[in-house]
Structure 1
Amino acid sequence: MAAGRYTPAFTLGIVTGARLGDLYGYRRMSLVGVAGFTLASGLCAAAPGAGALVAAPVVQGVFAAAMVPQVLSQIQLTYAPYERGGAPAASSSLNGLASAVGPILGGAALLEADPFGQGRRAVFWLDVPVGVVALVGASRALPEGRAGTGARLDPLGMLLSGAVLVLLLYPLIAGSFAVRAPHPGGRAHSYGFTATMGAGLGLIALRFAVSFLLPRRSAPRSW
């Protein structure tokens, strides 16, 4: 259930997170993202009730969106041009490995072992020491850097990209839950998912159509 709140927050914020790195510095946003994600993980682990447990994964997603886009920017700053081919490949491979192994070792294994009788809280407590180590290491190793003076936020682009992502993600997330717990509306409910996703695809088509019809501006939009 936490993933159903974390994923939309992360996806909606990742475009803005990348632009904030351009504006305020990739190192700064990396540190903000790691610190915020670690604190949100501690909040998930110590959540006293349902309200905090609902809100904390959203906060995790927001700070992850501030952190993750800075990875490729840091690669550009850290490695010479002839070395950059291997670094993104290594990062992508590590991400894939973490996605495959993380839920098994960090989720199922911890829940099965149930250290200190923490139950599902142990999954979130694990993030805290890892996050602290990552924060200390990043503060010492990451270089400073940001985009040129032309970087700026684009509220309209952020709003439109957010609307598209909501329309595309909601049917996927809600549909996955509907498979496990069928909705009384049956086929009519599934038609609603299809219509929502169709609206998202329609907005994408409209965005590209407008970009070809209107004259290009000197400063590109953020999406």
Structure 2
Amino acid sequence: MRNINYNITLLDLTYVHEVDWTASITDFDWVYRVTQAGFDYSKGEVIEVATLRVNRKDDLRYVFSSLRKHGIDMVYFMGVNPGYPKYVKVIVKGSIDLSTRFLAQELGLLEVYAYYVNGIEHWGFLALNRESLDQFLKEITNYGKILSNNIRVLKIEDLITANASRLDVFLNSSEYKVLRHAFERGFFNIPRSISMDELSKELGLSKSTIDRYLRSSLNKILRIIVRNEN
């Protein structure tokens, strides 16, 4: 089995995605904030639900035109408010080719947020190992320019103890049981007080099952914490 590393790292990234539609619009003010995203692997598509803000009607037309020129389909759009600045709820879909989100997914990164302002993309990602993060940063330079990246390590004990009173509310029973046992037995200590093999014997679960429960529970905890910070 592969070596499992739980050094949790948060990346705050600003990026000009030169081959994407976002980089082609820099001469007026606009904000595009992704609220939900997913993949249709059978069609090789990424789907986004987002809110777009523009200040003028011509700017709205220009954004829609840029999306079409880059092969992105507008599945749905609806104005949220009358007048301008205008907020528009949109659903779009495009190819996973050259997708920052898809590359992150393939490398095991967890997306925390994504929003674009005047041609600059702002991303937040969590990684369970630094190697995947470094590989991601290396590969996206093939398609654009990194303006800044801020990387910081999050302490697992701080994440768990800070939310101990709420863990069993948003984790299922299996996730909670495995995470709590691993934490109390010192799995996240440096150096570790217990190995994955020993956890497997104590819990009566396979190592792959324990790994899955830990990743799932940490995913949920980190999404809540980082979204609250932002």
Instruction: Identify the TM-score tier after normalising by the shorter chain.
Output: under 0.3
* TM-score relative to the length of structure 2: 0.23
Normalized per residue, the structure richer in helix is 1
Normalized per residue, the structure richer in strand is 2
Name the structure, 1 or 2, with higher relative contact order (CA <8 Å, separation 6+): 1
